Amino acid sequence: MGQETIATAPAARRRMTPRDVAESFRTATPLELLFDLCFVVAIAQSAAGLHHALASGHVGDGLLSYAMTFFAIWWAWMNFSWFASAYDTDDVPYRIAAMVQITGALILAAGIPRAFEQRDFSIAVLGYVVMRTALVANWLRAAASDPEGRGTALRYAVGVTLVEAAWVVMLTIPSGIRLWAWLFLACADLSVPVWAERRHRTAWHPRHIAERYGLFTLIVLGESILAATLAVQGALDAEQAGAGLYGVAAGGLLIVFSMWWLYFAKPAHRFLTSNRAAFLWGYGHYLVFGSAAAVGAGLSAAVDDATGHFHGGAIARGAVVTVPVAVFLLAVWWLQHRPHQVSLSHKVLVPGAAVLVLAGTFTPVPVPATGVVLAVVVTIAVLVARRESAAARSQLTVTP
């Protein structure tokens, strides 16, 4: 569908009718890829804010601001992706709505530094409102074009609008209770899809959704590599390179390569068979995406430590990398590996690795140690998978 021209697209598609949930060769479109690419800016801003907070020793404030800003990025991306999976018409109004959402993402990105430094979320909320307003327009259009799904589309439009207005009101309340208001509104935002799809499921495509999440994971991992690369480059330009810096660079590469390997080790679309499974899997990716981007911030802070510019405590110097890596491992294991009913060795391998990674916090070289642990885990996982595959083939051969 993404390759059809606007002029030749069927009239039914231009009416924003739902797509076939079993559609063959359903893949990400060029517009979706552009959408993801533009979201890199917001992710980079959020990760950079976390990096500066970690390096300056303001861990608590940095983590809180990071969790809040990354939630807005993730949730806006997620809503666009699931809507596109069900109603992507690729016509002029749809493309314009997507570009408005991209504009909102860039406004959000522009407001992230202010959110970190001054706890001023006005610009970030403005960008969020722009994105959500375009989403509401899409849902209203879907309600007008899809009689069977009209109730669901209208509930989405109403729910998103009400919560969007509440986000704006949040800016006017005293700062002392704003955090509690944020938590309430985040829960309200998360509940909209659950409420909207109680009676009628939208026509999202399992393979398409799995691919979209995989692509966004690649983008977040790429952001981690970029953040670490820029940090190393800055240290080299300042002629502050040493053994510690090279250890961070090597360990960081092992970490990111292993994270990629473990995430894509098991296909996800096979168990996305219901809204219940899809909601848990989709919402759980907040931890996957957030921790992956935080690894980049942690690696940048580790470079600061190797060059004498880190102002956190002794434990923090290792935890800035080991904690997000451990969160990533546990989230990927729970969401991607566990549903496949893997063997006992697979069930304990990744959680055990997360424990070892956390233990590496207290070593003199936490980043290289984490990289080695992950590389060993990947090696064991590959060997176990080969053994299980050979055993399965052997059983099929001897079965009469």
Give the tens place of pLDDT for each residue, 264-300: 988 888 888 888 889 999 999 999 999 999 999 999 8
User: What is the mean predicted confidence (pLDDT) over 151-172?
Assistant: 95
Whole-angstrom distance, CA of residue 263 vs CA of residue 220: 12
Q: What is the pLDDT of residue 175?
A: 81
User: What is the mean predicted confidence (pLDDT) over 192-215?
Assistant: 92
Query: Which residues lie below 8 Å from residue 195, measured CB to CB, with a gap of 6+?
Result: 155, 159
Query: Which residues lie below 8 Å from residue 221, measured CB to CB, with a gap of 6+?
Result: 256, 259, 260, 292
Would you say 306 and 244 are in contact if contact means Cβ atoms under 8 Å apart? yes
- pLDDT range class, residue 50, cuts 50, 70, 90: very high
Whole-angstrom distance, CA of residue 382 vs CA of residue 266: 12
E-state strands within the chain: none
Q: What is the pLDDT of residue 5?
A: 41
User: What pTM, to 2 d.p., does this model score?
Assistant: 0.89
* All CATH 1.20.1410 domain ranges in the chain, comma separated: 206-398
Lowest mean pLDDT across 177-181, 265-269, 366-370: 265-269
Whole-angstrom distance, CA of residue 100 vs CA of residue 90: 14
Q: Which of 143, 264, 302, 281 is nearest to 206 (CA)?
A: 281
What average pLDDT is seen over the chain? 87
Whole-angstrom distance, CA of residue 226 vs CA of residue 309: 19
CATH code 1.20.1410 for 206-398: yes
